Amino acid sequence: MSLRNQYPICEFDTSKNPIIHPANFLTKSLPEKCVITYLRKELERFVEEHKLPIIGYLNSEVFDIPIYEYVDGADRLCITMAFCGGPGAAVALEELHAMGCETFIVCGGAGALINDSKVGEIVVPVSAVRDEGTSYHYLEPSREIECHKETVEKVVSCLKEIGIPFKTGKTWTSDAIYRETPDMIERRRNEGCITVEMEAAAFFAVSRYYNIPLAQLLYAGDDVSGEQWDSRNWNTQKNIRYELLRTAIEIVKKL
């Protein structure tokens, strides 16, 4: 059943029979556990250090993203990347799930909306403000969406066990990195958001649609909480970013 609305983004079809579905043309060949990262250089370093083989690709017209296999004792998982933004997140999750992945940890950067944030601190988002478009194709319109609760609880438990400091909170998912205006930042902060990024709401929506266990580790990078943007050299914090990737790998092994 298709729900009509004055605004197309708020229209929703309850049908679960899309014309194109990745399971129709992809085969199950991947490990059940998967890390999706947006830390490309750190992934390349991990791949080189551990000599990881490529076991598949996420194909696109732009370029094909390799999927790597990582085996550590009895643990076998895959590690890959996704394109930025909600559509890229949803397509990656759809296709990886169709290829056999059942449990996901996503890790990447986010802008800090609160002024006491420290660069590199880990944020585990428990919900996201849906200020993007992709999630509205998977779930009926709502202001927010929660992350997979049981997986978040397991991630929090793992971080405590490992002894890594972290915060939990709400994130603001936006499609437009260059439209984070002071007034909108203030509005989202007043709603309780502590970070801003471009994928969480889409990941959470696809996760809920298929009931896929998924959680996210956000690395607090640049600071957009003040009157001026502070990059805080967020994309050059190599050791922090590398440890975030390693943490995501260790956590997915425990799920």
Question: What's the mean pLDDT in 122-143?
Answer: 97
| Euclidean distance between CA atoms 42 and 181, whole angstroms | 30
pLDDT (0 to 100) of residue 2: 66
Domain assignments of the chain as residue spans, ordered by start: 27-254
CATH number of 27-254: 3.40.50.1580
Instruction: Please tell me whether residue 180 adopts helix, strand or coil conformation.
Output: coil
pLDDT (0 to 100) of residue 203: 98
Q: How confident is the model at residue 108 (pLDDT cuts 50, 70, 90)?
A: very high
List, for residues 197-240, the tens digit of each pLDDT value.
Answer: 999 999 999 999 999 999 999 988 878 888 888 787 766 666 88
Query: Of 32, 38, 100, whose CA–CA distance to 65 is shortest?
Result: 38
pLDDT (0 to 100) of residue 3: 64
pLDDT (0 to 100) of residue 89: 98
For 22-44, give one letter per residue: b (16+ CB within 10 A) or e: eeeebeeebbebbbbbbbeebbe
Tokens of 98: 């169709």
Model pTM? 0.95
Sequence-ordered list of residues with C-beta below 8 angstroms from that of 14, at least 6 positions apart, any chain:
1, 2, 3
